[in-house]
Amino acid sequence: MTSTVWDTALISYALEANSKFDTSNILNKAEMFLLSRQHHRTGDWQLRNPRTEVGGWGFSDINTFTPDIDDTTAALRAIAKSAKTSSSVQRFWHRGLNWVVSMQNSDGGWSAFERNTDKRILSNLAVDGAKATLTEPSSADLTGRTLEFLCDFAGYTLKHRAVERAVHWLLQHQEANGSWYGRWGVCYIYGTWAALTGLLAAGVDAGHPSISRAVTWLLDKQNEDGGWGESCLSDSRHSYVPLGRSTISQTAWATDALIAAHSHLVPAIEQGVGFLVKEQKYDWTNTYPTGAGLPGGFYIHYHSYNTVWTLLALGHYLQRFHTSGMDIDENNSRH
């Protein structure tokens, strides 16, 4: 199974975030592909959500009836601009948005494929990996990313009940050290990036204690070269394990989170950007898996991740600090 829909949506979103490049032709073709892959067939998710119209997207090109939250919000980000002006695209948009909101769990968070499937008794069955395969509780990464989508792309605010509940869930599930655990990425860096950007998009003040603790945690994990790197062992040990080297995708996540949390440039952001644009080394760290499949079981190296998340972080850097007319290399050489 290939990650065609996921990659296409993410690449489109990253290119949209870098408006100085003329990618309209590429994005138009990508949009047509994504619109053709919105689901129309029913699936298992309807067992606990029977009254909602089909409207999600799945991970792969051939997946036509198993949508998930992350792919759906990624696809919706990619078509968001067109949905504002095209009535035909708006129909796809509204079906997808309605599906995402309807999939919120009763506890306020979001999981990937179904809603309200966190039956703890199943995790005690004598099945290898039972907790990860037989239950699907809300996760910080999916809740944070969905929250960021709803607020930054769909215009939701803290006044909306779904947003209020999601914010409450994230604040209640922050780790004692200030981080969040990410289910579908490695691992605490991924979860913290997703939760931070989601909370900030929802309007939680950057000075809120939870935000401050998360920022402090990220700053503490930055390596001397300006990047970040976390081992897959974090997943099985349930605590942060440094990789000993920085990776591109994890550096992009951490840098993007700090960009969202600051109204002005700080050294950690400049160092993170510097790593992304100048100090990338083509060695084993470039293919180190930072996507999670089965916790403690298998992990995924997405070939697009190093490029996609770097583009996104740099695009947000330029937008946030008004340096769109300045070359990034030139800007970093001054510090």
Q: Active-site residue among 7, 68, 70, 256?
A: 70
* Structure confidence at residue 325 as a pLDDT band (50, 70, 90): very low
* pLDDT tens digits, one per residue of 72-115: 999 999 999 999 999 999 999 999 999 999 999 999 999 999 99
Round to whole Å and give the CA distance between 306 and 105.
Answer: 31
Phi/psi at 232 (5° precision) = -60, -20
Average pLDDT over residues 151-174: 98
Q: C-alpha distances in angstroms, 153 versus 157, 159, 263? A: 11, 16, 20
Please report, as a single letter, which amino acid is at residue 47.
L
Say what the pLDDT of residue 326 is: 47
* Structure confidence at residue 332 as a pLDDT band (50, 70, 90): low
Phi/psi at 84 (5° precision) = -75, -20
* Structure confidence at residue 127 as a pLDDT band (50, 70, 90): very low
What is the residue-wise DSSP string for 161-224?
Answer: HHHHHHHHHHHHT--TTS----SSBSSHHHHHHHHHHHHHHTT--TTSHHHHHHHHHHHHH--T
* Mean pLDDT score of the chain: 92
- Dihedral angle at the C-alpha atoms of 315, 318, 321, 325, nearest 10 degrees? -170
Phi/psi at 315 (5° precision) = -65, -45
Say what the pLDDT of residue 134 is: 61
pLDDT at 305 over 90: yes
Nearest Cα to Cα of residue 254 among 190, 169, 198: 190
Of all residues in the chain, the percent with pLDDT exceeding 70 is 90
Please report, as a single letter, which amino acid is at residue 53.
E
Q: What is the CA radius of gyration of the chain?
A: 19
| Residue 56 neighbours by CB distance under 10 Å | 27
Say what the pLDDT of residue 120 is: 60
Say what the pLDDT of residue 278 is: 86
Residue 280 CB contacts under 8 Å (≥ 6 apart), including other chains: 248, 286, 306
Query: Distance between the two ends of the chain, CA-based, in angstroms?
Result: 45
What is the residue-wise DSSP string for 258-315?
Answer: HHHH-SS--HHHHHHHHHHHH----SGGGG---EEEETTTEEE--TTHHHHHHHHHHH
Say what the pLDDT of residue 270 is: 97
What is the residue-wise DSSP string for 17-73?
Answer: T-TTS--HHHHHHHHHHHHHTS--S--GGGGS-TTSPP----SSTT-SS---HHHHH
Say what the pLDDT of residue 271 is: 97
* Structure confidence at residue 207 as a pLDDT band (50, 70, 90): very high
* Structure confidence at residue 182 as a pLDDT band (50, 70, 90): very high
pLDDT at 217 over 80: yes
Classify residue 92 by burial, with Cβ atoms within 10 Å: 0-12, 13-18, 19+. buried
70 is catalytic: yes
* pLDDT tens digits, one per residue of 43-70: 999 999 999 999 999 999 999 999 999 9
CB 3 within 8 A of CB 291: no
Say what the pLDDT of residue 130 is: 47
CB 5 within 8 A of CB 59: yes
How many residues comprise the chain? 335
**Which helix (DSSP H) or strand (DSSP E) does residue 229 occupy?**
strand 228-230
* Structure confidence at residue 296 as a pLDDT band (50, 70, 90): confident
| Residue 148 neighbours by CB distance under 10 Å | 23
Please report, as a single letter, which amino acid is at residue 167.
V
Phi/psi at 333 (5° precision) = -70, -10
* pLDDT tens digits, one per residue of 236-294: 999 999 999 999 999 999 999 999 999 999 999 999 999 999 866 678 999 999 999 98
Say what the pLDDT of residue 67 is: 98
Say what the pLDDT of residue 281 is: 67
Distance of CA 95 to the CA centre of its chain: 21
User: Reduced to 3 states, what is the DSSP secondary structure of residue 243?
Assistant: strand
